[in-house]
Structure 1
Amino acid sequence: MTTSVGSVHNSSDLVNDYVCDACEGKKIVECANYFCAQCQKLFCGKCIYQHDQLYVNHDKYGRGETNKWPLTKTMEDVLLKCDLHKEKKLKTFCEDHSQLCCSDCVFLNHRQCTNVTLISETVKKMSYDMGQLSINFQTILDELNTFKRIQEASIQTVEVSYSEQLQEIRNTREKLNAALDVLEKATLKELDEMRTTLQTSLKNDVDNCRKMTDKLKKIIEAATVTVLCDKSRKEMEFIASRKCLDRIQESESYLRKNPVKLQGSILFKANIDIEKYLSQQASLGKIVYGMQSFFLRMNPDYVMTVKSKCEYLVRIPSDGNQTNSISGV
């Protein structure tokens, strides 16, 4: 199978999956540098020399013409394998749920669906704008990267503010007598718990963004390759489109559930009455999570839905007959 791969291969790690077929037959892993169209085989620099001695008139293409090389096994697996049942290939499409399905998917989750058809039939009546999908992919990838950078910055902010407020706690402690030892321990414990909770949550967000970013990169590379491939392979193009759309929707759903509007840090507010009411206090002060405004750039075309609207009468007797209005979102 010869396909048009294009410039994506030149910048993709998937190029490393191309190994010399001749060497592989000898259980040797050697990077391929040429593809023979007639033999439908890949060759390294040494093996292509031997090949040319026998087949001097065969058309071969080097690394500069990877658009004429076939898809790698990794690329095909990214597109054709079911995400839920890893060893199964996608065969059908459920229009009721707008979902690609393997045989296990159909048996377990779509037996009651009325519009489950073979992908080969579905592509005859459905198509996707890969150009727009590529734009949507880049948009969601940028948003994920922005979200990850913000959370990574928050990790550092928490660490810096932790150190600063720890010193403030020490300074406050110096003003008190030895009887404050127990209260100090309680306060530091609360501080440590706050830091642990925040760092765990932030690191989890960063890890989730990294995983989704990796998934997005892999699927868009494979999808882009598919678009540039043999145009007769509509099934592969359709699968690529659906998987790309599913990854984008998954990332959009994650970002909607985890909006970033504020960037916070740990603050320590000392109890100014502690000396007077020392015996009545449970700690040196309160550990709070201070926040500062930060706006995450989102898709400007994203349609927002108003969930509720409230109106309040704010007129007071001293207003007289003048008209006042207060509005807000």
Structure 2
Amino acid sequence: MIDIAGTELTDLDRERLCHPLVGGIILFSRNYVDPVQLTALTAAIHELRSPALLIAVDHEGGRVQRFRDGFTRLPPMAALGRLWDSDAAKGCEAARQVGYVLAAELRARGVDYSFTPVLDLDYGPSRVIGDRAFHRRPEAVVALAAALGEGLRQGGMGTCGKHFPGHGYVVPDSHVELPVDDRAFEAMQEDIEPYRQLGLDGIMAAHVIYNCMDCNTAVFSNKWIDYLRKQIRFDGVVFTDDLSMAGAGVVGDMLARVETAYAAGCDMLLVCNAPDAVGQVLANWKPAVDAHRSRRIKALLATAPAKSWEELQAEPNYQSALLTISRLMA
């Protein structure tokens, strides 16, 4: 999964997006001007290939929401956790409504998938998770993430739990440092519990080393991916976190990162904000074709047509969800 620099496709973008090793594109704030531009861009990307490329974005709510003007501003997930503390049923219903608005609005503009929900537990000191997490208690995370996932699916979008097996305990931000979690495996069971209980379509692995398992980050660890497949019995798509992040530098250059993550069992490898590295990978990586991995990724593409923006505005459920969100944001 690669990215592009601008707000419309260049000839080089088209060439790379049509490369057989590329299975998707991730969009960022720099790729967004307004809803009309985004709709035209996603249509142009979808027209490039059949089956169409998966178009994804980090659109969680709170401080991680790539498209803002023209989209509903979504609350941080911690706001849903606070509501759950006072009334669990209301918290779950609000989570469902947030998930619906998130998915329905993105789908109306041609985006297929968002990397959400965050399943990390809020231990407090993390420099990167914080209010992106629903709660400290795993039972609250499970309940709220399940409800958010229900809303996502009602909006025509799958789920992506992150960051497996848990990024909330370590303090450093893996975008700029390499975090190491030195807890015993038994101490991590609360972090892993949401992955055991939730029916997820995708999971994003963390750029964190867990000493209880091995000396690789989870992205590069065949032990963690095997655990996910064999013990948790997850058969959806395993995504790497962005392989350009500092936490991914433990195994070498981008080609080494891609090769190691794929060998560990990751299905979709994110190479972002590194156009020269994308060229290096596409020219030199020669993986064996794996039809099972391809089927997993294809399953994330929506089969039902999206509701238009105009249809959403006339829908009572959508309008009710907007009211709930406005109260959460107050």
State TM-score, norm by structure 1.
Answer: 0.21
More helix by share: 1
Which structure has the bigger radius of gyration?
A: 1
